Copies of this chain bind each other. A is one copy, B any other.
Amino acid sequence: MHPYLITDLVVPASSKIVFIILDGLGGIQMQPGGGTELQVAHKPNLDQLAADSSCGLLEPVSPGITPGSGPAHFALFGYDPIQYNIGRGILEATGIDFPLTEKDVVARVNFATVDKEGKVVDRRAGRISTETNARICRKLQDSLRLPENLEIILAPVKEHRAVLILRGEGLQGEIQDTDPEREGVAPLEPKALIPAAEKTASLVKEIVRQSRQILAEESKANMILLRGFAKHTQYPSFKERYGLQALAIAVYPMYRGISRLVGMRVLSNVHSHEEEFKALEENFADYDFFFLHIKETDSRGEDGDFNGKVAVIEEVDRFIPRVRALHPDVLVVTGDHATPAKLRSHSWHPVPVLLHSPWALVDEVKKFDEINCLRGALGKLSSLNLMPLVLAHARRLTKFGA
């Protein structure tokens, strides 16, 4: 079933669905003969939950493909990550609650340091403070001189990161990154990747040229590097597609941003795992679908900190009884992608998933990890197919055909 046909089968129901997403959950063995992060972690509650559930492994995009956070979450939410390839700029903008319009082309900005010859010497401008960032954004926005029908917005995010928004008629997002992604070389030209983007590309070129002049006196942030250009488009919402009133509970802005793109309501006042699970409890009566995001499994994986990632899994394990006590109709625990500590990065490896529901086929899996889940009832499943399966277990899909 094509995921977009699912909408035709959606029926009203009062069931509750909870997604606990541990970012970068999947792992591999750190050394031959060792265990994965999930195998090593002491997690009695997750193991008991797995024993009471259908288990399996999620393939985020397709075999061998390492997804970024955007595509990985879109797939979990049942939105084709290839059709809806979100730009980095859009992600950043939604993460700071910036209200985008359909006239906007958006890019992620890195403030950087260049030398006299224009070569990048620090792609993060020594991680300038967020205050300096805000001052520089104001300075740029006040000083840039561009055609009257073009509105330019520079919105600070954090440290060296900001968002550039070009707002106007007929803009196109198919523009090459100027960020060379390494140091010792000059920024790249913002070339148009399709003929229709030529006009926008020449505007970006002018913005880059003026920015260098405006920032010339800055000691660290004397240049902007742009990447992930994209035109903002409206996505169908969770309500439209699935009939679900959805709430996102996430500490990190980017994940709030992704959730907002698919029409979830987003809590902005949570700052810890304890606050996240408390928010789930407090809001449980008011929504149909809950996306609770745990960032640190991914962060520790990216640090190469195997034991740190194990500790995050163990900490989340202790919250599981509180989630079960809410008796959601469907409870899913999984990750958006793998971030093996051994690789220190996102990876292509499939991610363990468990689906708990009174309507789930309970398999023989008693431990929640990459190896045991291979024998699970869900088998290996494209992330894109998770939502239809979840809606079915929530009794929210009617029969297809007579």
Contacts and interface: CB of A to CB of B under 8 A. Distances in A.
Nearest to A372: B364
Interface in A356-402: 359-364, 370-371, 374-377, 379-381, 385-393, 397-402
A243 interface: no
Given A5-B82, A82-B1, A66 B364 contact: no
Interface in A99-142: 108
Interface size range on A against B: 35 or more
> Interface centre among A5, A70, A88, A361, by most B CB within 10 Å?
A361
Contacts of A371: 361, 363-364, 377
Contacts of A345: 399
A261 B200 CA distance: 41
A36 interface: yes
A21 interface: no
A295 interface: no
B70 A401 contact: yes
A388 B64 contact: yes
A162 interface: no
27 contacts: A1-B61, A1-B62, A1-B65, A5-B82, A28-B361, A62-B385, A64-B387, A64-B389, A65-B397, A66-B398, A68-B400, A68-B402, A69-B402, A71-B400, A71-B401, A81-B400, A85-B401, A86-B402, A88-B402, A228-B402, A343-B359, A345-B399, A347-B359, A363-B371, A364-B371, A374-B375, A374-B376
